[in-house]
């Protein structure tokens, strides 16, 4: 199984990046996890004449090649970061590469509640018709007080949280297999949608 793990922030120092780096190492016998940074993507704008930035096309291709996507989101003011929202806008406006793609949401924050509100916000966005991702239901991995959650080697310290992460990841692998099987049995090929802003002149 091959997963793309998106670091949902443009910050150079992030416990969400640390969480994905830990997952990449911890689950290396079960799946291949490739980290994807969004910090170098330009802020979203309506590209003229289909001139999509090369960095955006590269991320879209990484998503297409993956069996599923893991997104780690911090929480800023009860929401996802502007950088992550911008990256998702690029995907929805151009490739729509997340359509029908299995997605697992995880998150770390400095507060005690983890990134619960940001995760709920991200679910709403991914469920929009322009993205239409297959979000794993009834799953939340909330890593609170994340500045003290890892040891010096980057290992997750809390054994209960580690057990929880193991269970969620196993469920996500099964979810990915089920979605892949479901889509393979579709009798019709779904074409990319055209939206109002793609068909109207400015």
Read off the pLDDT of residues 18-70 as tens digits, 9 standing for 90 and up: 999 999 999 999 999 999 999 999 999 988 767 899 999 999 999 999 999 99
User: Angle 159-184/15-26 helices, nearest 10 degrees?
Assistant: 70
Name the residue ranges covered by the structural domains of the chain: 2-199
Following DSSP, what letter does each residue of 137-202 receive, concatenated?
Answer: TT--EEE-SGGGSB-TTS-B--HHHHHHHHHHHHHHHHHHHHHHHHHHT-SSPPPPP--HHHHS--
Q: At which residue do the structure tokens 């080697």 appear?
A: 153
Cα within 13 Å of Cα(197), Cβ side: 10
Element of type H or E holding 5: strand 2-7
pLDDT tens digit sequence for 55-114? 999 999 999 999 999 999 999 999 999 999 999 999 999 999 999 999 999 999 998 888
Cα within 13 Å of Cα(161), Cβ side: 20
- H and E: helices and strands count for the chain: 6, 6
Contact 109, 78 (CB under 8 A): no
Mean of per-residue pLDDT scores for the chain: 92
Give 189's contacts (C-beta < 8 A, 6+ positions apart): none
pLDDT, position 187: 53
Q: Please give the CATH architecture assigned to the domain spanning 2-199.
A: 3-Layer(aba) Sandwich (3.40)
Give 30's contacts (C-beta < 8 A, 6+ positions apart): 1, 169, 173
Measure the N-to-C terminal CA separation of the chain; round to a whole number of Å: 43
Element of type H or E holding 20: helix 15-26
Percent of the chain with pLDDT over 90: 84
Handedness of CA 59, 61, 66, 67 (dihedral sign): positive
What confidence category does residue 188 fall into, taking pLDDT thresholds of 50, 70 and 90?
A: low
Strand, helix or coil at 102?
strand
Neighbour-count burial of 196, counting CB atoms closer than 10 A to its CB (0-12 exposed, 13-18 middle, 19+ buried): exposed
């Amino acid at each position: 199984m091959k997963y793309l793990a998106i670091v949902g922030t443009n910050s150079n120092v992030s416990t969400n990046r640390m969480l994905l780096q830990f997952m990449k190492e911890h689950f290396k016998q079960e799946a291949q996890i490739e980290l994807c940074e969004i910090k170098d993507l330009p802020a979203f704008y309506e590209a003229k004449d289909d001139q999509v930035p090369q960095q955006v096309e590269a991320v879209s291709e990484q998503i297409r090649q993956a069996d599923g996507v893991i997104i780690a989101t911090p929480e800023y003011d009860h929401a996802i970061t502007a950088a992550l929202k911008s990256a998702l806008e690029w995907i929805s406006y151009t490739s729509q590469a997340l359509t029908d793609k299995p997605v697992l949401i995880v998150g770390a924050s400095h507060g005690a509640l983890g990134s619960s509100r940001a995760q709920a916000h991200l679910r709403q966005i991914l469920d929009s018709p322009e993205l239409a991702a297959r979000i794993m239901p009834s799953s939340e991995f909330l890593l609170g007080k994340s500045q003290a959650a890892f040891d010096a080697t980057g290992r997750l310290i809390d054994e209960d949280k580690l057990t929880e992460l193991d269970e969620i990841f196993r469920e996500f692998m099964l979810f990915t297999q089920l979605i892949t099987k479901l889509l393979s049995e579709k009798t019709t090929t779904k074409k990319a949608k055209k939206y109002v802003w793609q068909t109207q002149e400015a």
